[in-house]
Amino acid sequence: MRSRFSSLSILGLIILPFITALGALSIGRFPIPLKDTLAVLIGSQDVSNQMQIVIRNIRIPRIILAMLVGSGLSVSGVAFQSLFTNPLATPDTIGVASGASLGAVLAITMGFSLIGVQIMALIFGLIAIFLTFMTGSNKKEMSPASVILAGIIIGALFNAFITLVKYTADAETELPNITYWLMGSLSSANYHSLLLGAPFIIIGIGVFSLLRWRLNILSLTLDEAKSTGTNISLLRIITIISATLITASAVSMCGQVGWVGLLVPHACRMVFGSDTSKLVPSSISFGATFMIIIDTLARSATSSEIPISVLTAIIGAPFFILLLKRTGGWSL
């Protein structure tokens, strides 16, 4: 049962995020009956103009962004865990998210447009992963524990630079925007930002979907990987660039969102096993579903929106502890 991945499972993984999204469209501080939500989606004009605006202009862009960010960060977690052969390797723990955040914060303070923020986030994300790789490897050999330790150090370094930028930012104009943005929020989602940011995440997810069988090779020793006839260096480069591209785009659109790249892949591993050909599609589905649920709670649980990173930590940490207790430790 653990390794079973039937056609029914694939169909369920495809349907799950869309069923969750349909429910999320009706939930919020302005609740909308499901029948009216369906009427808006099919283009009916029998629904009030207010409901149409709420669904089409506010909730649909947010849910699309939630699906992209959740699925993108989850599959990036799978990729990094395979690359560094460590279940703790995620965009957060190896410094990529911190690097991308620093680039985005610098771009925001300099008044860059969204595409400029994304480029800066990508550049600094790549710098972070390069520094982590160089720090955590020795003579082209990577120790999983060393990589995680290096990632924590590099992440702390970039977070220190973020604090420095916040310290020098204008306290009345720039600092509040930076602080709120760093806590993570999907409130600024709109079709324009999706048009600019979504393609990068979709491309990254597409690359990992095509390479989902080959990602297993990254967990092998160098000699074993070479014996498969795979260009392991090229595969590593593609993996790093694709995962960093996803992380940078997600960070540039909604700030830092922690735990997703760690929690979702590990939960999927409990159900489907360690084969990345199963982990990639299941993480895409579960990640999208998880983020839709989190964002729905963030915008509807209280009168003021709760930061995404707060909810992912509050919900993710206890659930992850429960997983570890039930399985007796890490499962690779």
Q: How far apart are CA 281 and CA 10, in angstroms?
A: 8
Give the sign of the dihedral formed by CA 14, CA 184, CA 238, CA 278.
negative
Q: Is residue 332 part of a domain?
A: no
C-alpha 133 chain-centroid distance: 20
Tens of pLDDT, residue by residue over 99-131, are 989 998 998 888 888 788 888 888 898 899 889
pLDDT at 113: 83
Q: Quickly list H helices, 137-231.
A: 144-168, 174-182, 191-210, 222-227
Determine the Cα–Cα distance for residues 243 and 82; give it in Å rounded to an integer.
Answer: 12
Q: Which two tokens stand for residue 182?
A: 């760093």
Residue 88 lies in a domain: yes
Give a yes or no: residue 78 inside a domain: yes
d(CA 230, CA 243): 20
Whether 241 is covered by a domain: the verdict is yes
Cβ-contact 104, 251 below 8 angstroms? yes
Number of domains in the chain: 1
Q: How high is the pLDDT of residue 323?
A: 65
Quote the CA–CA distance of 17 and 266 in Å, as a whole number.
Answer: 18
The pLDDT of residue 3: 45
In a domain, 2, yes or no: no
| Residue showing tokens 């997600």 | 250
Question: For residue 65, with 0-12 CB atoms within 10 Å meaning exposed, 13-18 middle and 19 or more buried, which class applies?
Answer: buried
Nearest to 315 by CA among 291, 299, 279: 291
Range of the domain at 283: 7-327
Strand, helix or coil for residue 191: helix
- DSSP code for 171: T
What lies within 8 Å, CB to CB, of 119 at 6+ separation is 107
Contact partners, residue 251, CB within 8 Å, separation at least 6: 97, 100, 101, 104, 121, 125, 257
Count of beta carbons in the 10 Å neighbourhood of residue 326: 8
Short-list 166, 168, 185, CA closest to 176 = 166
Distances (CA, A) of 213 to 196, 276, 323: 29, 6, 26
- Look at residue 17 and tell me if it is in a domain: yes
Sign of CA dihedral 283, 308, 62, 120: negative
Q: Does 186 reside within a domain?
A: yes
CATH number, domain with residue 298: 1.10.3470.10
- Please list the rounded mean pLDDT of every run of 10 residues in the chain (332 residues): 60 92 92 91 85 92 96 94 82 87 90 84 88 76 74 92 91 84 86 89 95 86 74 87 89 87 88 88 95 93 86 82 64 44
**Between helices 144-168 and 114-136, what is the axis angle to 10°?**
140
The pLDDT value recorded for residue 154 is 92
Tell me if 1 is assigned to some domain: no
